[in-house]
Amino acid sequence: MRRGRRLIASLFIAALVVPTTLVRTPVTRTVPEEIALTRIAGASATGVEGWQVEGVWQYSAGPTLAFGGYSALLTLGDTTLRAFSDRGFRLTFTAPDRADETPEKRRANRQWFAEEDKNRDFWDIESATRDPETGGYWLGYEYVHAIHRFTPASAEDGGRRLDGEEDWPINSGLEALERLADGRFLAIPEASTEALIFPGDPVEGGEAVRLAFANPASGYAVTDAAELPDGRVLLLMRALAWDFPPFGGLIAIAPAPPSQADAPWEAEIALRFDAILPPENYEGLAVREQEDGKIAVWVISDDNLSALQRTLLVMLTFDPDQSR
């Protein structure tokens, strides 16, 4: 009987997923000249101490591969965000809570390589991180398991292929990549039970320490990570759910990753998105410390280039003093 219920549940979820992945509008690769912005929700309580929803916005453009599919998110200074897509494009824009936000500041661009072969191979961007001092950033990819470094002007500045080092499935890549304040790099593969800690810039070499990741939520997988000023790490996690679109989301908090694999790296659930945020495929996470000591937490969704899904940007605030 239990087996039958599991089969029915699986078929139901599959029926939900099919429309979001197969019902697509015709698309081109034309970079949109205009990107619309609509606020769809204002501030609201979460019911969880230390967390507040500040707003939810929807970004939209014409049917094109140059917009949507965002799987990674960065903060660039105090006012600007940058999202990267699994089709090889980036979106740079002023945070929508800023008074100086204008349509002219929403810019989509191709994430170019100097070599045409790389433009064909390195397109499925799943993770991103940045050095706040230099402005340089790193991207992690799916299908081609690699990490590439870029200058602040988005010029390629080195890379490392991980295909020969990691036995990951072709459709499972680095879902989360975070440069920690101490110079180490945290990397989490898709649906993995381990996290990797590189002692420094992975592009420069170095063997990663493997941490056993203790998943705090059964059925959920990490889709992005961001370090807090106190060294703890926020983890964005996603699962299939009984909803439409069929995704559940949550944020977990883990302690600062150890340098040695002495014990499991354990996280705790901090905030579930159910009944708080519109259901969507949330994949990108970025943080920014505010003057009042609270943390602005930005979350962006991947619309899977589906006519039935949306590109949503959520702003949360988190008070780290209330969750120690």
**Which CATH number fits the domain that encloses residue 12?**
2.110.10.10
The whole domain housing 154 covers 2-322
pLDDT digits (tens, 9 = 90+) for 87-143: 999 999 999 999 999 999 999 999 999 888 888 888 999 999 999 999 999 999 998
Which own/partner contact pairs does 106-115 have at CB distance under 8 Å and 24+ positions apart?
106/35, 106/37, 106/59, 108/31, 108/32, 108/35, 108/61, 108/66, 108/67, 109/31, 109/154, 110/31, 110/66, 111/84, 111/139, 111/154, 112/154, 113/156, 114/155, 114/156
pLDDT digits (tens, 9 = 90+) for 259-300: 888 789 999 999 999 999 999 999 999 999 999 999 999 999
Q: Could you tell me whether strands 44-45 and 51-60 are parallel, antiparallel, or unpaired per DSSP bridges? A: antiparallel
Non-local (6+) Cβ contacts of 41 within 8 A are 53, 55, 56, 278
The per-residue pLDDT for 25 is 52
* pTM (predicted TM-score): 0.90
User: Token match 């505010």: residue?
Assistant: 290
Least confident segment among 6-15, 163-172, 282-291, 295-304: 6-15
Residue pair 214/235 in contact by the 8 Å Cβ criterion: no
Q: How many domains does the chain have?
A: 1
| pLDDT grade for 1, boundaries at 50, 70 and 90 | very low
The per-residue pLDDT for 259 is 85
Beta strand ranges found along 120-232 (DSSP E): 125-130, 137-141, 146-150, 156-161, 174-179, 185-189, 194-198, 209-214, 221-227
Q: SS3 of 102, please? A: coil
